[in-house]
A and B are shown apart, each in its own frame.
Chain A
Amino acid sequence: MGDVRDGVSRTPQRSEHNRHDRLLIARFAANDASASERDQARQLVTDCTDCSRLFADVRLISAAVADLPAPTRRRDFRLTPQQAAEVRGSWLDGFLRRFAAGGIPALRPLAGVALSIGLALAVVGTGLPLPNAAMPASAPLPAAGPPAERSDNGSGQPVEGAPSFNSSAGGGEPLATDDGTGNTTDIDDPEAPPADAEDVSTLEAAGEQPSDLVRLLLVYAGVTLAALSFGVLLLAWYARRQEDPLLP
């Protein structure tokens, strides 16, 4: 049934009103319509009685909500010292809160970067990105190669007559035998070019030890840094899981 007032049926206009954009009227009533919408809304409010009523009602409701009373507070929310101590928790809670998302904002990115650097140092230190195969074939004995294998009698003295092989050159270097006096004598490898025995002993003495130290330092520093950073990230993850859900 249509709305009948003053003997005039409003049904046709009401059904037409149902097609009008009520949200537009609400925006218009709140002075929130764009310039292009404003003309259209003004037209609707002027021409359609229901839109006009909606416009006025929306404003009235907005004003009434603003004046709506609220019940008065009956509880005092001030914290007692006991409550405060309980809320603050133990030093461990405080420590964990420092690692939560908002505790120290730059902590997690920094830990992430430190972890990457640590891993990179460790990888560089172990020499994985610098395989011997990548060295030029004509290069002299690499400084960072493993120590020469020797036949040993356990007393530190080489076994008499036993051949001693310098395997650090990847197959391209001369072999050597011990002559029993501690000096090595090259054995001619038919496939290898001749090399000077003095070069080998000089490189062994001057190159290998410092290089190993650097490598060791890199690996230890990298692993330590990575482990610490990982620990911090783990703590941050745990602290985040324990984080106060009410925080914005």
Chain B
Amino acid sequence: MEETARRSEGTLPASDDGATGSAVEDAALRQPAPRVRRPVDEERTARDRDLVARAVQDDLEAFNELVVLYQDYLFALVVRVVGDRESAADAVQEAFFSAYRNLARFRGDSFRSWLTRIALNAATDVLRVRKRRPADPFPEWEDEAWQPPAKESENPERQAIQRSASRTLARALSQITADQRLAIVLYDVEGYDYQEIADMTGVSLGTVKSRIHRGRIALRELLAPDMELLRGG
């Protein structure tokens, strides 16, 4: 029953016997709903501008308000890109230092985007250094902190499957190229659209799309033996 439902959602391929051919067709014909663009949060922009204006006048409290507002978001983004907590924390700290030092030069509409670009540059620096001195590229995939928080209502077996699926997916994500990973994280996790990602990463729209699609195909190849785990999760 569940299997049929997932087939009709297009998340489960038809079985090879051809008996569910119509389900395949349904899945193919049903395109995902157009990506809903996040509405421009005018209130947030105005709030950020106000805080930036105060911080420029050496109001450290105002800047720290901005830090509080964005530190969780930035850390979650950077840690997905660089793969370990310590490097991510260092990169985010550097990003906030850089933002504070150059606050007077912020002229864009969105402080969040500006900050994200600085943090991504810091993350790219981490990856560059790591490439020069290869060690264990992603030491923390096995860390329990990466696992989704357990819900009391879920049975232990399901929790174990979910954890295993997350770990497998995270490991696969670490094995695709940094450019593909960054594009996928920004698109699928953070919800930026193609143009915003192109602006942030300084590449063309076509390159962003290509990185996302090729990255997903690469993930699928890496995850091929474990796809059932993902479906079961």
Q: For residues 78 through 94 of chain A, which have their beta carbon under 8 Å from a beta carbon of chain B?
A: 78-79, 81, 83-84, 87-89
Known: A45-B24, A70-B76, A248-B114. A87 touches B101 (CB 8 A): yes
CB atoms of B28 and A102 under 8 A apart: no
- Pick the contact of B213 from A32, A63, A89 — CB < 8 Å? A32
- Pick the contact of B169 from A49, A55, A68, A245 — CB < 8 Å? A68
Size bracket, chain B contacts: 35 or more
CB atoms of B16 and A58 under 8 A apart: no
Query: B89 in the interface, Cβ–Cβ < 8 Å?
Result: yes
CB atoms of B231 and A79 under 8 A apart: no
- A41 to chain B: which residues have CB within 8 Å? 28
CB atoms of A71 and B140 under 8 A apart: yes
CB atoms of A74 and B89 under 8 A apart: yes
Query: A64 in the interface, Cβ–Cβ < 8 Å?
Result: yes
Query: A111 in the interface, Cβ–Cβ < 8 Å?
Result: no
- A70 to chain B: which residues have CB within 8 Å? 75-76, 79-80, 146
CB atoms of A246 and B98 under 8 A apart: yes
The docked-state distance in angstroms from the alpha carbon of A138 to that of B213 is 81
Query: A57 in the interface, Cβ–Cβ < 8 Å?
Result: yes
Known: A10-B16, A57-B220, A61-B230. A103 touches B213 (CB 8 A): no
Known: A68-B170, A71-B143. A42 touches B220 (CB 8 A): no
The docked-state distance in angstroms from the alpha carbon of A74 to that of B16 is 48
CB atoms of A26 and B217 under 8 A apart: yes
Known: A78-B67, A245-B121. A61 touches B24 (CB 8 A): no
CB atoms of A26 and B213 under 8 A apart: yes
**How far is the CB of B52 from the nearest CB of chain A, in Å?**
14
The docked-state distance in angstroms from the alpha carbon of A83 to that of B170 is 34
CB atoms of B13 and A49 under 8 A apart: yes
Query: B85 in the interface, Cβ–Cβ < 8 Å?
Result: yes
Most B CB within 10 A of own CB, among A28, A32, A71, A76: A71
CB atoms of B231 and A23 under 8 A apart: no
Query: A108 in the interface, Cβ–Cβ < 8 Å?
Result: no
The docked-state distance in angstroms from the alpha carbon of A69 to that of B145 is 9
**Chain A residues with a Cβ under 8 A of chain B:** 5-6, 8, 10, 22-23, 26-32, 41-42, 45-46, 49, 52-79, 81, 83-84, 87-89, 97, 100, 102-103, 244-248
Cβ-closest 7 pairs across A and B: A45-B28, A71-B145, A53-B13, A248-B117, A26-B213, A69-B148, A73-B75
A–B Cβ pairs within 8 angstroms, 9 of them: A32-B209, A46-B24, A57-B220, A70-B146, A74-B89, A84-B100, A97-B102, A102-B105, A247-B105
